[in-house]
């Protein structure tokens, strides 16, 4: 049965989507049909295809009562839009169907676990507002909410945690057939705990214990936990709100954190290392899945919360999801690179070897464009003070990536990238230069730039609103840079 709220969202989409031309959207990055999107949800493999849901408010470009938008793909890059999967249409989720996860059940149905937000008055600060964990199942297109919802409710919130901020269940099945989910819970002290629940059947849940806890320094509320084994290690990813800055690793405010450790047979998570997941401006609330060939792939919301109220006028949709990244743990660090499926989308190879850029600005014929996959290797930087790579550039606009070898850092700047708001436009990040070389892979999909650093596996993501007419790419050196460039068009 389709509720009137769900039907309204589907009808609204059918009217608005045709008004947005394909050329106004990125090619490989998922956008909502219309309106606003935030977190990826339910990223999973089901009946031969990848499914990706997202937090969705189709009716405007600002956050509103959350629906779940839905798309599927066979290559993680080209997404087929599917009808809106869920709307806030019950007493327990009438204020929103918040983030959650998905799983294929042994009986062949796809199970969605999400947070239902209930409020007595509809106000954001309503004391009668609480969050519960709910289930829906479906066939990959239509979903039915479970009549026993909510399955984790205020009375089962672990002691010391509050029901008003208790969300984003991450569900999985253990090798023994039992189920677990981790949920982000705010404590009475306004810190956060990642709490774990256990179930025999995915419908009846009991609290099992805690996985981790934040300190004030690591942020108040931790949102959107993900928890998985990778390369002999256990990884917990969380998205902390209100973090303290630290060096170039963490900035003030919302961050994304990977905690790497081990998981004891009794379930205890032993932490060994911690790092930022993405050092750019726009990346939050990532989720992962395991591909049928055993790769761990992550995708995030390509937007920062703090900038999200500044929607440039005339924009027809707001929010994109990131490029999916393959993950590894190497020497205690989370390493990321674009999914290998992207290689099949490359054409028009241009290679420039042993180019020298000396105290000035140069461009190279054929090295331009807004749909590109470009690897720049900086070799021998003994005489280099600074190398700027300008993309999405013309007389008015540019986005820059600057390498400062002495400080072992990159400076990212999108001040001239189509925004005219006084928001965060710049970040500094560490890069690995110990081998005397730096290799950066820059991927642009019209309205975004994602940078992957090969040596340390770091990456940095930002959304751009630069008009598409700005297609230029330039290199500027202070001192002498010796570079190789390998560039492809993406399609």
Residues that bind ligand FRU (CB under 6 A): 38-39, 55, 66, 98-99, 115, 167-168, 223-224, 284-285
Shortest Å distance, C-beta 360 to ligand FRU: 44
- Report the Cα 343 to chain-centroid distance in Å: 21
For ligand FRU, the closer CB: 38 or 433: 38
Residue 99 or 101 with smaller CB distance to ligand FRU = 99
Q: Which is nearer to ligand FRU, 219 or 369 (CB)?
A: 219
Q: In the complex, what is the shortest distance from the CB of residue 54 to ligand FRU, in angstroms, rounded to a whole number?
A: 10
Q: Which is nearer to ligand FRU, 196 or 389 (CB)?
A: 196
- Smallest distance from ligand FRU to CB 401, Å: 26
Nearer to ligand FRU, 168 or 450 (CB): 168
For the question of residue 231 being annotated catalytic, the response is no
Which of 39, 89, 93, 445 is labelled catalytic? 39
Q: How far is the CB of 31 from ligand FRU (least distance, A)?
A: 16
- If the CB atoms of residues 41 and 199 are measured against ligand FRU, the closer one turns out to be 41
Q: In angstroms, give the least distance from the CB of 14 to ligand FRU.
A: 23
Shortest approach of ligand FRU to residue 325 CB, angstroms?
Answer: 18
Q: What's the rounded Cα separation, in Å, for the pair 261 and 239?
A: 17
The residues assigned a catalytic role are 39
């Amino acid at each position: 049965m389709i509720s009137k709220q769900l039907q309204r969202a589907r009808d609204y989409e059918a009217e608005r989507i045709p008004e947005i031309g394909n050329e106004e959207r990125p090619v490989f990055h998922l956008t909502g049909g219309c309106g606003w999107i935030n977190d990826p949800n339910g990223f999973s493999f089901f009946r031969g295809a990848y499914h990706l849901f997202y937090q969705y408010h189709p009716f405007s470009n600002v956050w509103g009562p959350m629906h779940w938008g839905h798309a599927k793909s066979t290559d993680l890059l080209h997404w087929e839009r599917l009808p809106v999967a869920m709307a806030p249409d019950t007493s327990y989720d009438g204020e929103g169907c918040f983030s959650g996860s998905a799983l294929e059940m042994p009986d062949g149905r796809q199970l969605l676990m999400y947070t239902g937000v209930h409020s007595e008055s509809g106000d954001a600060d309503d004391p009668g507002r609480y969050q519960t964990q709910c289930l829906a199942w479906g066939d990959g297109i239509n979903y039915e909410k479970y009549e026993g919802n909510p399955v984790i409710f205020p009375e089962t919130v672990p002691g010391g945690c509050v029901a008003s901020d208790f969300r984003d269940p991450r569900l999985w099945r253990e090798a023994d057939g039992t189920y677990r989910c981790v949920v982000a819970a705010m404590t009475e002290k306004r810190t956060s705990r990642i709490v774990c629940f256990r179930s025999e059947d995915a419908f009846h849940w009991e609290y099992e214990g805690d996985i981790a806890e934040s300190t004030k320094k690591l942020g108040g509320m931790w949102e959107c936990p993900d928890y998985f084994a990778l390369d002999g290690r256990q990884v917990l990813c969380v998205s902390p709100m209100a973090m303290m800055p630290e060096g170039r690793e963490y900035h003030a405010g919302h961050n994304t954190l990977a905690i790497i450790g081990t998981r004891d047979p009794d379930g205890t998570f032993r932490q060994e290392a911690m790092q930022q997941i993405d050092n750019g401006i726009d990346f939050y609330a990532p989720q992962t899945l395991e591909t049928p060939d055993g790769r761990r792939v992550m995708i995030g919301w390509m937007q920062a919360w703090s900038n999200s109220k500044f929607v440039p006028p005339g924009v027809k949709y707001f929010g994109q999801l990131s490029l999916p990244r393959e993950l590894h743990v190497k020497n205690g660090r989370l390493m990321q690179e674009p999914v290998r499926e992207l290689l099949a989308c490359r054409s028009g190879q241009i290679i420039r070897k042993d180019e020298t850029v000396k105290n000035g600005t140069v461009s190279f014929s054929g090295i331009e464009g807004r749909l590109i996959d470009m690897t720049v290797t900086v070799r021998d930087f003994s005489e280099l003070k600074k190398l700027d790579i300008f993309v999405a550039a013309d007389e008015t606009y540019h986005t820059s990536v600057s390498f400062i070898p002495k400080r072992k850092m990159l400076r990212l700047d999108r001040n001239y990238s189509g925004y005219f708001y006084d928001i965060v436009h710049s970040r500094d990040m560490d890069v690995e230069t110990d081998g005397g070389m730096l290799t950066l892979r820059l991927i642009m999909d019209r309205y975004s730039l994602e940078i992957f650093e090969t040596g340390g596996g770091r990456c940095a993501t930002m959304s751009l609103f630069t008009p598409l007419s700005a297609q230029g790419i330039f290199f500027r050196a202070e001192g002498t840079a010796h570079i190789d460039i390998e560039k492809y068009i993406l399609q």
